[in-house]
């Protein structure tokens, strides 16, 4: 029987109101059920936001340096559990273990930086046009912030969003992607173990059209940070703009590498190979277009294809694998459809 993972609301691990759950399956072994997670609804999300709103006034008055020290405790806990986190990431998202460990290290580095921001939150003094008048600015937290993260970096991107929000004095409602919620849940466990006051951090899983929508529309939410698709990002951006609240968006790209005649081909090929095929190509920063000058095209493509032929696809937990699987069946079908579309448009596979 697979393990059941709960929401974290107001300092307690709780099931969603109607008891519904969804399963996450290991993409490298579809017989392996990673876990069951809460299929939360709008009312569950309202409870999480209400808890964050109640916690905000007291948390905002905690000195920024002390808020940073909570993140320092998170760093220590995450460092002790880094192999466990990487194994979970590999199992649910499909990254090879080397990439998973690299992502966890990146997330810990981000936590280290933002813990220090508690000592660097500063305002400004400004000249005044009036005599005997002292003009200055101070930074104050916004309130409840909604953080929505993607499936392809389920540890690093949540750390990137949660730590600065907390250190700045905001309270958080965090929803990970339904494709890879286990890694995010482990981070939520660590934040709980770090001793954050009740309601300061809240973790909830569930569908975007209900839970995610409430995280954007709820009147108590004062800022939103979203990483994900262009389609959903456009909707969130429009809704946040209509509400007049702050919004930070990171969406998809169509990233080009340009290689000129005077390039160091060894470095260029290595960079393009890693950029295109690292993390199974499943990242918004992946190299998806290659623009070559005629003078180096043939030699460059020869070297690149030699690299491509070294790829060994397999279970990311196995040392011989150099590329893990597509994250799930829906994404696999989407990739295959795009390949067929390209072939019909004249591309050579």
> What tokens does 262 get?
């005077």
Residue located via tokens 């290991």: 26
Q: How far, CA to CA in Å, does 247 sit from each of 148, 244, 305?
A: 11, 9, 41
**Surface-to-core class of residue 59, CB atoms within 10 Å of its CB (0-12 exposed, 13-18 middle, 19+ buried):** buried
Active-site residue, from 16, 45, 90, 284: 284
The residues, any chain, with a CB within 8 Å of residue 275's CB and separated by 6 or more, are: 255, 257, 285, 286, 287
Active-site residue, from 83, 250, 306, 345: 250
174 pairs with which residues across the strands?
147, 203
Is 250 part of the annotated catalytic residue set? yes
> What tokens does 41 get?
């609804």
Residue located via tokens 């829906």: 330
| DSSP classification of residue 151 | S
Q: How far, CA to CA in Å, does 213 sit from each of 147, 168, 196, 244?
A: 12, 24, 26, 16
Nearest to 25 by CA among 94, 97, 84, 92: 92
Query: Which sequence positions are flagged as catalytic?
Result: 250, 284
């Amino acid at each position: 029987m697979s393990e059941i993972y709960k929401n974290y609301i107001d300092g307690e691990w709780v099931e969603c109101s109607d008891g519904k759950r969804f399963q996450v399956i290991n993409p490298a072994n579809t017989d392996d059920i990673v876990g069951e997670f809460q299929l939360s609804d709008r009312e569950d999300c309202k409870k999480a936001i209400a808890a964050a709103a109640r916690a905000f006034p007291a948390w905002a008055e905690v000195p920024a340096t002390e808020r940073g020290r909570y993140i320092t405790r998170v760093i220590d806990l995450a460092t002790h559990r880094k192999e466990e986190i990487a194994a979970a990431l590999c199992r649910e998202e499909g990254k090879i273990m080397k990439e998973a460990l690299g992502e966890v290290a990146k997330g810990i580095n981000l936590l280290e930086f933002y813990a220090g921001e508690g000592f660097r939150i500063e305002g400004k003094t400004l000249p005044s046009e009036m005599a005997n008048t002292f003009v200055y600015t101070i930074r104050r937290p916004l309130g409840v912030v909604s953080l929505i993260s993607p499936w392809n970096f389920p540890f690093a991107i949540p750390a990137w969003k949660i730590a600065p929000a907390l250190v700045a004095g905001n309270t958080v409602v965090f929803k990970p992607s339904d494709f890879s919620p286990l890694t995010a849940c482990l981070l939520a466990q660590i934040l709980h173990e770090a001793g954050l006051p009740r309601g300061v951090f809240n973790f909830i899983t569930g569908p975007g059209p209900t839970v995610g929508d409430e995280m954007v529309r709820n009147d108590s939410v004062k800022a939103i940070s979203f990483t994900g698709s262009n389609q959903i990002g456009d909707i969130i951006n429009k809704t946040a703009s209509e509400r007049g609240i702050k919004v930070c968006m990171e969406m998809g790209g169509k990233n080009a590498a340009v290689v000129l005649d005077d390039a160091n081909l060894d470095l260029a090929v290595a960079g393009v190979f890693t950029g295109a095929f690292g993390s199974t190509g499943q990242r918004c920063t992946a190299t998806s277009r290659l623009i070559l000058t005629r003078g180096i095209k043939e030699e460059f493509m020869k070297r690149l294809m030699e690299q491509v032929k070294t790829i060994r696809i397999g279970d990311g937990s196995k040392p011989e694998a150099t590329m893990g699987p597509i994250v799930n069946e829906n994404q696999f079908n989407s990739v295959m459809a795009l390949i067929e579309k390209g072939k019909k448009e004249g591309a050579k596979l």
